């Protein structure tokens, strides 16, 4: 069984920009710079033959390349933060790609986790309830990074990732890349 997801790798220059704001958003489990990504569809634990079938289906998926821009920061979890993230400027082509890859996975019999697609790049996760000082530092960091924005960058492919659990947070490995070449 392989814990897997479909997503977008962040270009090196975007990962660098994210690395500059990450320390200002203090949650205990920072995502390692090389693992920063945007999840399109979480697939959960899948047998290798199912992922092989998905791979062949994804090879024929057509979607055009597009530009994307990260914009702003926020948290999931409200008063009990679970994760801090960098947001994504609205881009219809991203939503269309997400719908296509999720539908492709469903056609292979995979239950795609999650509800409404909220595109983001997770920067760090919490381990539990924050102390008052941690919550205050996080609030200040969110205010300081609210204007965060990257220059638009080209999205020319998406990838199938494996998610490998570790004590300090999962490690993500690209299993296969799929170019965006059509409409």
User: Which residues are marked as active site?
Assistant: 37, 120
SS3 content of the chain, % helix, strand, coil (to 5): 30, 35, 35
> DSSP letters along 146-172, please?
TT-BPPPEEE-EEEEEEEE--TTS-EE
What six digits make up the tokens of 32? 């390692």
Residue among 89, 87, 86 at smallest CA distance from 20: 86
CA distance 110 to 44: 9
| Torsion 104-105-108-114 (CA) sign | negative
DSSP bridge pairs for 124 = 30, 84
**Cβ proximity of 28 and 127 under 8 Å:** yes
How many Å is the Cα radius of gyration of the chain? 17
Q: What is the DSSP letter of 79?
A: T
């Amino acid at each position: 069984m392989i814990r897997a997801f479909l997503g977008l790798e962040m270009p090196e220059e975007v990962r660098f920009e994210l690395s500059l704001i990450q320390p200002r958003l203090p949650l205990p489990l920072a995502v390692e710079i090389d693992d920063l990504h945007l999840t399109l569809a979480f697939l959960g634990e899948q047998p290798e033959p199912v992922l092989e079938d998905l791979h062949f289906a994804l090879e024929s998926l057509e979607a055009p390349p597009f530009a994307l821009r990260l914009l702003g920061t926020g948290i999931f979890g409200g008063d009990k933060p679970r994760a801090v993230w960098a947001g994504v400027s609205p881009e219809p082509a991203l939503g269309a790609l997400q719908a296509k890859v999720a539908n492709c996975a469903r056609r292979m019999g995979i239950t795609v986790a999650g509800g409404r697609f909220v595109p983001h790049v997770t920067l760090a996760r919490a381990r539990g309830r924050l102390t008052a000082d941690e919550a205050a530092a996080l609030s200040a960091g969110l205010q300081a990074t609210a204007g965060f924005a990257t220059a638009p960058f080209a999205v020319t492919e998406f990838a199938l990732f494996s998610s490998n659990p570790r004590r300090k947070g999962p490690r993500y490995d690209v299993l296969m890349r799929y170019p965006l070449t059509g409409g």
